[in-house]
Amino acid sequence: MGSIEIKVADAAQQGLPGEVTEAVALTGVATAQQPANLSNLAYANQVSSTNLSAQNQVARQDAMNRLHHSILANAVNQVQDLQPATARSAVAAFSGNETAQALADLRAAIDAFPSH
């Protein structure tokens, strides 16, 4: 890369006014800084893109975890939730069944005799 030479001219000298020379010098400095500014802009864009990608991945993972918890909670609720028909059939099996009543009578008869 080339070098930039800045000369300051006296007002007594023939040539361009001092404002023009100063403007040209500032333009040269701004032009020299342009590659660094473009590099910084590209790096900032890359960092921003990576940050958005990471946030998106975390949001997707959180949504999947919430979905898994919801599915698991519904499955557990279906297994543990007793319907009225289920409770009634369990009561009927132990109290309204003749075989169950006969077994209860036999057990009571056996328990009536003392065991040694």
Instruction: Please say if the pLDDT value at position 11 is more than 60.
Output: no
Domain boundaries, the chain: 14-80, 83-111
Q: How do residues 35-83 score in pLDDT, each as one tens digit?
A: 788 888 899 999 999 999 999 999 999 999 999 999 999 999 888 877 7
Instruction: Please say if the pLDDT value at position 6 is more than 80.
Output: no
Q: Tell me what pLDDT residue 66 has.
A: 96
The rounded distance, in Å, linking the Cα atoms of 97 and 105 is 12
The rounded distance, in Å, linking the Cα atoms of 46 and 97 is 76
Q: Tell me what pLDDT residue 17 has.
A: 63
Kindly calculate the radius of gyration of the chain based on its CA atoms and give it in whole angstroms: 45
